[in-house]
Amino acid sequence: MEVAGSEYRETYRNPESTMHTVLIIDDEQDFCRSVERMLSKAGYAVQSVYTATEGLRGLQSGDIRLVLLDHMLPDINGMDLLPRLLADYPQIPVILMTSAASLGQAVEAAKTGAYDYLEKPFERNRLLLSIRNALVYADTRRERDRYREACADQFEMVGRSDGICRVRTLIEKVAGRDISVLITGESGTGKELVARALHNQSNRSEKPFVRLNCAAIPENLLESEMFGHEKGAFTGAHTSRPGRFFTAHEGTLFLDEIGEMSPGIQAKLLRTLESGEIQRVGSEKPVTCDVRVLTATNKDLRDRVSKNLFREDLYYRLNVVKIHLPPLRERKEDIPLLLEFFITRTAMKEGIIPLRLAPSAVHYLCGYAWPGNVREMEHFVSRMMVLHSGSYVDLQHVREFLGEEAAFRYDNQESGTLRTARDDFERNYIRAALAQAGGNVTRAAENLGIDRRNLYRKMEGLGMDGE
């Protein structure tokens, strides 16, 4: 094996490499000992095994950060073992080694998922550089996954109602299809949440997600904001600007409040969607741009089309699939779950103890109209968590935090018989008790002061046996 000069070890020594354990799976023991010495000098911990079976056993320790896998092993071919390693340990990069390399084998290894492919004998600098790059790549992926997990709660769609289940089903069906989606619903229902879910579950998830609120930007600046401009295109354009379409290249552009767009900008947006090209303000040269466009509105676009306020051809171009988010007052069964979710998330974010809501308080909140929808609830919980001095919130506290106007927005006085009103009350009260008990029926029954079997019978009678 060719060895580079000693100065290389200093150049490629990773200050954190002592944390990295490399597993060598190769039946040539002399080769393994040689690589062990080389990697040990570079600061890595090394384990060597001589069969695929021993390699699989070694990976179970959980300490391995990278695998050097020989192409030919006595029990299993390395190319046959590679898919299993990648499936069982997707976070561990694998570098394949062989004494008889070919371009076809290298391509096959890359397609299968090997990080790199080395032909024996290889130079030390080639091996160490490949290992270092593979570990950096793995750490980057691990950090990305941790970031996604940390953001998962922020973008989680909480609820079990029929309306929210339909939304989830539509997202799963269309996320992987590169088609336009129009997201509708009142303000605060979570339209951006749906757009991010569509992006995160698509083939473009590794690329940018760019949001633009069309109602928040003056009409005379919206074109420049969307498509960009050249230096000197208008007064104040001291530098060129790429625009949101270009920033979202190969990713997703989410245009919120699309119903507020002027007819002139609508025409330019339609032309961009049809041609796949953008033209910056002040430029005569179109630029190709690959972007998936998602749009959202709290307006009735069909009504605006009938009033000639929105282009019909653009409407059909954007409305390939429509996802409608129901207002919170139409998914009251989700309110206890959402309250628990926001209380827990706020407690974790602020480093404080989660509040406990009295069942009467949750029942009252289930009857509140929530004109600001989920966004209003999130702000209400944050305000309550920060300002409340105790750990238990009763009905009086809730009324105080909602404010005087809440009395005019209480939406629990629905028409119907006394029996219907009583059933609704008991159903919401039991849901609140279950939410407070973390879904534990025994604990909820104790809090309600009834036997667990009686609670089960009551739930069945109220049509809650599936909850």
Torsion of CA 124, 125, 127, 131, to 10 degrees: 130
pLDDT at 310: 95
Check residues 77 and 292 and name the one with the higher pLDDT.
292
Least confident among 103-112, 291-300, 437-446: 103-112
Residue 382 C-alpha from the chain's centroid: 22
Q: Flag whether 446 is in a domain.
A: yes
Q: Of 299, 295, 298, 275, whose CA–CA distance to 287 is shortest?
A: 275
pLDDT in tens, 32-51: 999 999 999 999 999 999 99
Same domain, 77 and 180: no
Same domain, 167 and 308: yes
Compute the average pLDDT of residues 382-388: 90
Look at residue 467 and tell me whether its pLDDT is greater than 90: no
In which band, very low, low, confident or very high, does the pLDDT at 76 lie, cut at 50, 70 and 90? confident
pLDDT at 268: 92
Helix axis angle, 395-402 relative to 373-387, nearest 10°?
110
pLDDT at 418: 60
CA-CA distance, 254 to 6, in Å (whole number)? 53
Least confident among 179-193, 309-323, 388-402: 388-402
Q: Flag whether 13 is in a domain.
A: no
pLDDT at 423: 72
pLDDT in tens, 175-188: 999 999 999 999 99
Cβ within 8 Å of residue 399, ≥6 positions away: 364, 406
Check residues 110 and 296 and name the one with the higher pLDDT.
296
In which band, very low, low, confident or very high, does the pLDDT at 102 lie, cut at 50, 70 and 90? low
pLDDT at 9: 31
Same domain, 281 and 336: no
Compute the average pLDDT of residues 129-154: 70
CATH of the domain at 100: 3.40.50.2300
Q: Flag whether 432 is in a domain.
A: yes
- Write down which residue in 414, 430, 454 finishes a domain: 414
Q: Flag whether 2 is in a domain.
A: no
Same domain, 186 and 246: yes
Look at residue 190 and tell me whether its pLDDT is greater than 90: yes
Q: Please list the residues that pair with 98 across neighbouring strands.
A: 119
Q: Please list the residues that pair with 281 across neighbouring strands.
A: 229
- Write down which residue in 79, 113, 148 finishes a domain: 148
Check residues 47 and 143 and name the one with the higher pLDDT.
47
Same domain, 353 and 440: no
CATH of the domain at 358: 1.10.8.60
Phi, then psi, of 92 in degrees rounded to 5: -105, 115
Q: Flag whether 91 is in a domain.
A: yes
pLDDT at 379: 93
Q: Which amino acid is at 455?
A: L
Domains of the chain: total: 4
Same domain, 322 and 335: no
296, two tokens: 């959202």
CA-CA distance, 88 to 90, in Å (whole number)? 6
CATH of the domain at 438: 1.10.10
Look over the chain and give the mean of its residue pLDDT values, rounded to a whole number.
83
Look at residue 138 and tell me whether its pLDDT is greater than 90: no
pLDDT in tens, 77-90: 888 899 999 889 98
Same domain, 130 and 59: yes
- Write down which residue in 326, 349, 380 finishes a domain: 326
In which band, very low, low, confident or very high, does the pLDDT at 10 lie, cut at 50, 70 and 90? very low
Q: Of 250, 155, 255, 154, whose CA–CA distance to 208 is shortest?
A: 250
Compute the average pLDDT of residues 59-69: 91
Cβ within 8 Å of residue 279, ≥6 positions away: 227, 268, 285, 286, 287
Q: Flag whether 4 is in a domain.
A: no
CA-CA distance, 205 to 357, in Å (whole number)? 38
CA-CA distance, 342 to 153, in Å (whole number)? 10
CATH of the domain at 247: 3.40.50.300
Same domain, 207 and 133: no
Other residues' Cβ atoms within 10 Å of the Cβ of residue 13 = 14
Q: Mind spelling out the 3-state secondary structure of the chain?
A: CCCCCCHHHHHHCCCCHHHCEEEEECCCHHHHHHHHHHHHHCCCEEEEECCHHHHHHHHCCCCEEEEEEECCCCCCCHHHHHHHHHHHCCCCCEEEEECCCCHHHHHHHHHHCCCEEEECCCCHHHHHHHHHHHHHHHHHHHHHHHHHHHHHCCCCCCCCCHHHHHHHHHHHHHCCCCCCEEEECCCCCCHHHHHHHHHHCCCCCCCCEEEEECCCCCHHHHHHHHHCECCCCCCCCCCCECCHHHHCCCCEEEEECHHHCCHHHHHHHHHHHHHCEECCECCCCCEECCCEEEEEECCCHHHHHHCCCCCHHHHHHHCCEEEECCCHHHCHHHHHHHHHHHHHHHHHHHCCCCCEECHHHHHHHHHECCCCHHHHHHHHHHHHHHHCCCCEECHHHHHHHHCHHHHHHECCCCCCCHHHHHHHHHHHHHHHHHHHCCCCHHHHHHHHCCCHHHHHHHHHHCCCCCC
160, two tokens: 């079990």
Same domain, 96 and 172: no
pLDDT at 50: 94
Sign of the dihedral defined by the CA atoms of residues 94, 136, 206, 59, in that order = positive
Other residues' Cβ atoms within 10 Å of the Cβ of residue 220 = 9
Same domain, 73 and 181: no
CA-CA distance, 260 to 459, in Å (whole number)? 46
CA-CA distance, 286 to 288, in Å (whole number)? 7
Compute the average pLDDT of residues 90-118: 80
Percent of the residues in the chain that have a pLDDT greater than 70, as a whole number: 84
Same domain, 441 and 375: no
Q: Of 166, 220, 227, 174, whose CA–CA distance to 197 is shortest?
A: 174
Q: Flag whether 125 is in a domain.
A: yes
For 196, how many CA atoms within 13 A lie in the half-sphere containing its CB? 13
- How far from 94 is each of 78, 115, 183, 430, CA to CA, in Å? 11, 6, 42, 53
Q: Which amino acid is at 176?
A: G
pLDDT at 269: 93
Least confident among 43-47, 124-128, 149-153, 382-386: 149-153
Same domain, 409 and 358: yes
Q: Flag whether 6 is in a domain.
A: no
Compute the average pLDDT of residues 287-306: 94
Range of the structural domain that residue 455 is part of: 418-462
418, two tokens: 């006394």
Look at residue 112 and tell me whether its pLDDT is greater than 60: yes
CA-CA distance, 155 to 172, in Å (whole number)? 15
